[in-house]
Structure 1
């Protein structure tokens, strides 16, 4: 790190690094890897994909919650068959202390009555189950499959039922800041949590995109068109430059409130990166 910023920005960045969240995928070794490398102070989310099924997401979320982590499972509208299955999922989560959710529309064909995130959000809010924090997704650079006007109007509707917005990956701090300001102009003042890639190796990215499956991987890359090639640098990728580019917005008047790290299950190297960043900040305090 060549510049550590002012004392105020260092304090804000340190706080963001101490409270950020990690996103993990429900693979066979995920539970053990998280327990080994990630402290329980790190908030977690667990993704959902049509290939793995919603049960894999819920089961991993419950297992991690039992280990003392604060966990938010992704609930994908198209993967939930209807109100009965939703009620069963919500009851299991709340009975086991899971108080956070992340709600998405999801990919693939709808398996039942829910086809989009808005309908699922309404059902969750009307279910009688109480959740402390519900997140929704934001797209600073748009969505490859959804027109901008529809994307914007849907976000405004969903925001009325949510507690924060987590952005998809965007590598340009200026674009992220413009996005957060555009939300305010639309009357959306929810905290914006910036999605950043973790410290991910090229080999890990290739293994994970293969594990996701050809269809899921293609959909993922369409939505993250600038992501794939950035990992093909010597040693892989880490988010230091992106995080540093947003540090002046943390703790100020901006709605940017922190970071959400897409680890691609490379939790060991991502946690090592986070601790290294904290050590560097501490060295100049």
Structure 2
């Protein structure tokens, strides 16, 4: 891939974090304000944890992106309360997945239901991301997930892809998405500089039931970490060069799943950019 493309993607790369205790302090310590930080929503950590973490990050000068998981929201009245909080905090970016809450907390069975309600409100949202699945979702057929992206295209501003460790799968999937006429910009999801032992510790912090789901959803990540040499995000990006270098495929950014390994991921990112002095400052 061209150095120009790599530099652009790494400079603007956004980080996904889980709203566990102390994570705001770690972001503030290792990441410069002005970067985009997305905050996951999970039943084990509560939507309140997501919102309060996002509020704290926004106040520190980051562009916070709370995940508003549709199935965790009780209904329109709670959504209105959330919108009020976002407005007060100056947050104008959100990500809306369906979420894993079973059964749903209220009337939103999926992301589209919530997004349609949101569109009817005087919401401050300027950037609205929706889910994209390069690999088959364990519960949803491929045609359904692609149709869901089509249904959301008039509301969303971009797609965010789920983790996938197969560059060929990503390339084939993205070509198919574009052939279907879905032209929303894609923020490509990749794993950061993740270590297996630290990933297991993160899982242990988010509740027994939730950690079981976490481990199941991230089996591929664990498998990669356990192999000799583990997972190297730079090698992964190099293998995706034909996709990243092709403007027609519309990859406009990187969404890095840090699993709260913020320091390691930020040091890796700065090394790729040749920011040696700044790497030393965070070690």
* TM-score (normalised: structure 2): 0.91
Alpha-carbon distance in structure 2 between the residues aligned to 1:160 and 1:221: 34
Structure 1 match to 2:280: none
Structure 1 pair 210–234 and aligned structure 2 pair: CA distance change class (3 A): farther
Aligned counterpart for 2:69 among listed residues 64, 76, 79: 76
Structure 2 match to 1:209: 203
Q: Are 1:201 and 1:235, in contact at CA under 8 Å, matched by a contact in 2?
A: no
Question: Are 2:58 and 1:65 equivalent residues in the alignment?
Answer: yes
Alpha-carbon distance in structure 2 between the residues aligned to 1:112 and 1:260: 29
Alpha-carbon distance in structure 2 between the residues aligned to 1:99 and 1:208: 28
Structure 2 match to 1:256: 251
Alpha-carbon distance in structure 2 between the residues aligned to 1:94 and 1:122: 18
Write the deviation string for residues 226-285 of structure 1: whole angstroms up to 9, x where unpaired: 22211124675441111222244336222122210000000000000000100189xxxx
Write the deviation string for residues 72-95 of structure 1: whole angstroms up to 9, x where unpaired: 100011111111111111111122
Q: How does 1:37-48 map to 2 (within 5 A)?
A: 37-48=30-41
Alpha-carbon distance in structure 2 between the residues aligned to 1:249 and 1:182: 13
Q: Are 1:13 and 1:247, in contact at CA under 8 Å, matched by a contact in 2?
A: no
Aligned counterpart for 2:165 among listed residues 171, 196, 215: 171
Structure 1 match to 2:186: 192
Q: CA deviation at 1:183?
A: 1.1
Q: Are 2:44 and 2:206, in contact at CA under 8 Å, matched by a contact in 1?
A: yes
Aligned residues: 274
Aligned counterpart for 2:136 among listed residues 111, 129, 142: 142
Structure 2 match to 1:239: 233
Alpha-carbon distance in structure 2 between the residues aligned to 1:260 and 1:28: 22
Structure 1 match to 2:271: 276
Q: Are 2:91 and 2:124, in contact at CA under 8 Å, matched by a contact in 1?
A: no
Structure 1 match to 2:281: none
Q: Are 2:190 and 2:256, in contact at CA under 8 Å, matched by a contact in 1?
A: yes
Q: CA deviation at 1:186?
A: 1.4
Identify which range, 40-49 or 216-225, moves more after superposition.
216-225
Q: Structure 1: any 5+ residue segments left out of the alignment? A: none
Q: Are 1:99 and 1:133, in contact at CA under 8 Å, matched by a contact in 2?
A: yes
Q: Are 2:178 and 2:249, in contact at CA under 8 Å, matched by a contact in 1?
A: no
Q: Structure 2: any 5+ residue segments left out of the alignment? A: 277-283
Q: CA deviation at 1:106?
A: 0.5
Structure 1 match to 2:150: 156
State the Cα RMSD in Å: 1.9
Question: Are 2:23 and 1:33 equivalent residues in the alignment?
Answer: no
Q: Are 2:196 and 2:222, in contact at CA under 8 Å, matched by a contact in 1?
A: no
* TM-score (normalised: structure 1): 0.90
